[in-house]
């Protein structure tokens, strides 16, 4: 991370428990200057994830606008994930009601505004379907030069999680992921290769609960809820996907990051939405992604605990 200047950041996601935890983490990063939060349909409908985003902003006492994005993918029909995130998209602990009005700008208009006004290149952290970011690039190719990096949670070089071949965020909107993969921008991808190693176990989130501040209590209860479905699938803890897209930017040294050319499968009866890596350069294409494929799990957990500890004395 640049040691001198703050990094302007846009958080785009579909909160969702792990998006919410990622945003708690992001809000504690001193180098980050979070300029906007934008929402996209995915874990739940756009209305629900937007309401959740606004409540997270209230919880964290952030003076940041929330702008509503696309309510459906570029081409596909929307799929949602109430089995993981519940009927509200963020079931579990009580959260404060929104204390800021929803922005009158759409997500794309907000992203455009932030990019045009920023003197520094902006980092976009996408933890849902990549619809908004793709729509931004399609509508405003001239603004690509204002984007420093796009860090995504999405994909899986070895497996999927919604289908055998595709991870949820990519499968929701493969055309959006393809647009970003072919954008020529600096891209970082946290796929299931790392996020299914980023397992937070019950004893880990008991450390967070024991911090005994209101935000830590909420985060622990988000893990409580998220674990219900994960446990039913046989996991011994929570694959904590979205915080990887934040943490790997700030502390890359605790991750294993490889440069690969990755393309997105758009057709195929069984593999639409697969992220296919060229491991040995046989495609002749230069790498387009920094692929995060491993991590030091204990250090990952410790960073989450440290982030939650920074809310000592918080009230909501």
- Nearest to 215, CA basis, from 299, 316, 89: 316
Residue closer to Ca ion by CB (options 123, 195) is 195
Q: How many residues in the shown chain lie near ligand RIB by CB under 6 A?
A: 15
Q: Which two three-digit tokens encode residue 8?
A: 């302007």
Q: Does 126 interact with Ca ion (rule: CB under 5 A)?
A: no
Within 10 angstroms of residue 117's Cβ, the number of other Cβ atoms is 11
Residue closer to Ca ion by CB (options 52, 197) is 52
What does DSSP assign to residue 187?
E
Q: Pick one of 27, 130, 151, 161: the residue that binds ligand RIB (CB under 6 A).
A: 161
d(CA 43, CA 116): 30
Q: Pick one of 19, 65, 193, 204: the residue that binds Ca ion (CB under 5 A).
A: 19
Q: Enumerate residues 18-47 that contact ligand RIB by CB under 6 A.
A: 18-19, 42-43
Binding segment for Ca ion (CB under 5 A), chosen from 99-107, 224-232, 242-250, 292-300, is 242-250
User: Beta strands of the chain (E only): which ranges?
Assistant: 7-13, 32-39, 66-68, 122-126, 147-153, 187-190, 199-200, 238-239, 255-264, 275-278, 289-295
Q: Does 243 interact with ligand RIB (rule: CB under 6 A)?
A: no
Q: Among all chains, which residue has been given the structure tokens 């991590």?
A: 295
- Beta strands 238-239 and 199-200, pairing class: antiparallel
Q: Does 14 interact with ligand RIB (rule: CB under 6 A)?
A: yes
Q: Pick one of 91, 204, 221, 242: the residue that binds ligand RIB (CB under 6 A).
A: 242
What are phi and psi for residue 236, nearest 5 degrees? -95, 0
Q: Does 155 interact with Ca ion (rule: CB under 5 A)?
A: no
Q: Does 128 interact with Ca ion (rule: CB under 5 A)?
A: yes
Residue closer to Ca ion by CB (options 16, 155) is 16
Residue closer to ligand RIB by CB (options 68, 146) is 68
Look up 85 and say whether it is catalytic.
no
Cα-Cα-Cα-Cα dihedral of 316, 33, 249, 275, to 10°?
90
When CB distances are held under 5 to 8 angstroms depending on the partner's kind, the choice from ligand RIB, Ca ion, none that residue 260 binds is none
Residue closer to Ca ion by CB (options 92, 261) is 92
Catalytic residue annotation: 241
Contact positions vs ligand RIB (CB under 6 A) = 14, 16, 18-19, 42-43, 127-128, 153, 161, 167-169, 241-242
Contact positions vs Ca ion (CB under 5 A) = 14, 16, 19, 127-128, 242
């Amino acid at each position: 991370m640049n040691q001198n200047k703050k990094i302007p950041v846009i958080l785009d996601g579909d909160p969702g428990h792990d998006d919410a935890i990622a945003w708690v983490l992001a809000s504690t990063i001193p180098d980050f200057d979070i300029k906007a939060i934008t929402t996209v349909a995915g874990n739940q409908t756009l209305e629900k994830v937007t309401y959740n985003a606004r409540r997270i902003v209230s919880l964290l006492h952030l003076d940041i606008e929330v702008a509503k994005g696309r309510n459906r993918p570029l081409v596909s029909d929307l799929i949602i994930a109430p089995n993981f995130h519940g009927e509200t998209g963020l079931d579990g602990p009580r959260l404060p009601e929104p204390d800021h009005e929803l922005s009158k700008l759409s997500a794309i208009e907000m992203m455009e505004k932030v990019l045009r006004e920023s003197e520094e290149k902006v980092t976009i952290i996408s933890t849902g379907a990549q619809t908004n970011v793709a729509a931004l690039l399609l509508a405003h190719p001239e603004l690509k030069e204002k984007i420093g990096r796009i860090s995504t949670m999405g994909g899986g070089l070895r497996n999927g999680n919604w289908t055998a071949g595709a991870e949820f965020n990519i499968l929701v909107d493969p055309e959006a992921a393809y647009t970003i993969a072919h954008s020529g921008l600096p891209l970082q991808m946290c796929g299931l290769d790392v996020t299914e190693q980023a397992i937070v176990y019950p004893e880990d989130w008991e450390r967070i609960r024991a911090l005994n501040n209101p935000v830590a209590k909420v985060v622990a209860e988000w893990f409580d809820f998220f674990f219900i479905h994960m446990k039913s699938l046989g996991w011994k803890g929570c694959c904590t996907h979205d915080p990887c897209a934040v943490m790997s930017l700030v502390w890359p040294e605790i991750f294993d990051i490889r440069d690969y050319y990755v393309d997105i499968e758009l057709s195929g009866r069984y593999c639409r939405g697969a992220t296919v890596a060229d491991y040995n350069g046989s495609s002749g294409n230069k790498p387009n992604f920094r692929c995060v494929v491993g991590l030091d799990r204990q250090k990952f957990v410790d960073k989450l605990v440290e982030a939650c500890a920074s809310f000592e004395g918080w009230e909501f």
